[in-house]
Amino acid sequence: MTTSRATSTRYQQQHQRAIAAAASVFAKKGFHGATTQDIANEMGIQQGSLYYYFDSKEAALEEVCLFALRDYLSRMEVLATQPGSITNKLGKAIQSHLASYRTHHEAMKVHNEQRLYLADTRREQLKTLGSRYRELLEQLFSAGVKDGSLNPQLDCRFSARSLIGLCNYWGVMLLRDTRLDIEDIGARCLELTLQGSLPPRIEQHL
């Protein structure tokens, strides 16, 4: 391994530590209550060294929010290309979305509660990532309509947005109550999405 490559790897590792430290501080103190000194202290470095990773407190908030979105977007992009039934894919998408709240709980909390403190220019990339995620989910619903596994009159755009809202709500609940079972919540979200509140259909046997 060359020195430059090793240095780059070490930098990336330290950069990820800096994002994790910023997420922890913002989750505890909020954007306005936190300082770059707090983030440096959380990371165990001098305040001046923090500027190797973030040029400002707002830049740190932006990176935390981007980290939160990129993780489950990347999993959705992989899922969208895999074979399988729409029901199976929707179930995996829901579980992946909910899992983000457990694996990256501080970053997700910060994104949901504090991203609006970012300037409009800094929120553009977040909007792009969010739109991409919604598009991929909408495509899953559209594929289900096309192959006949979902209601032919389904509003796929509305369904995708509604499912994201449902997952975000239960994601927050998963943060608040660690006793909740993520697989159970995911299965219930999928059942509600596919079956709604209708009674189960009784098959007629001749």
What is the pTM (predicted TM-score) of this model? 0.83
Residues 103-119: pLDDT tens digits? 889 999 999 999 999 99
The percentage of the chain sitting over the pLDDT mark of 70, rounded to a whole number, equals 93
**pLDDT top residue among 197 and 174:** 174
Contact between 14 and 53 under an 8 Å Cβ cutoff? The reply is: yes
pLDDT band at 43 (very low <50, low <70, confident <90, very high): very high
Contact between 104 and 16 under an 8 Å Cβ cutoff? The reply is: no
User: How far apart are the C-alpha atoms of 171 and 195, rounded to whole Å?
Assistant: 21
Average pLDDT over residues 56-62: 95
pLDDT at site 200: 67
Residues 24-34: pLDDT tens digits? 999 999 999 99
User: How far apart are the C-alpha atoms of 86 and 166, rounded to whole Å?
Assistant: 18
Find the distance separating the first CA and the last CA of the chain, reported in whole Å. Answer: 71
Neighbours of 39 (CB within 10 A): 25
User: How far apart are the C-alpha atoms of 77 and 164, rounded to whole Å?
Assistant: 15
Average pLDDT over residues 171-197: 91
- Asked if residue 195 has pLDDT above 90, the reply is no
List domains and CATH numbers for the chain.
57-195 (1.10.357.10)
**How do the residues of the chain divide into helix, strand and coil, expressed in percent and rounded to 5?**
80, 0, 20
- Asked if residue 204 has pLDDT above 80, the reply is no
pLDDT at site 1: 40
Q: SS3 of 55, please?
A: coil
- Furthest C-alpha separation in the chain: 79
**Closest listed residue to residue 156, CA positions, set 143, 147, 168:** 143
**Closest listed residue to residue 62, CA positions, set 132, 126, 127:** 126
- Asked if residue 173 has pLDDT above 90, the reply is yes
Query: How does the average pLDDT of the chain come out, rounded?
Result: 90
pLDDT at site 7: 59
**Residue at 16: amino acid letter:** Q
Residues 3-40: pLDDT tens digits? 454 458 888 889 999 999 999 999 999 999 999 999 99
User: How far apart are the C-alpha atoms of 206 and 198, rounded to whole Å?
Assistant: 24
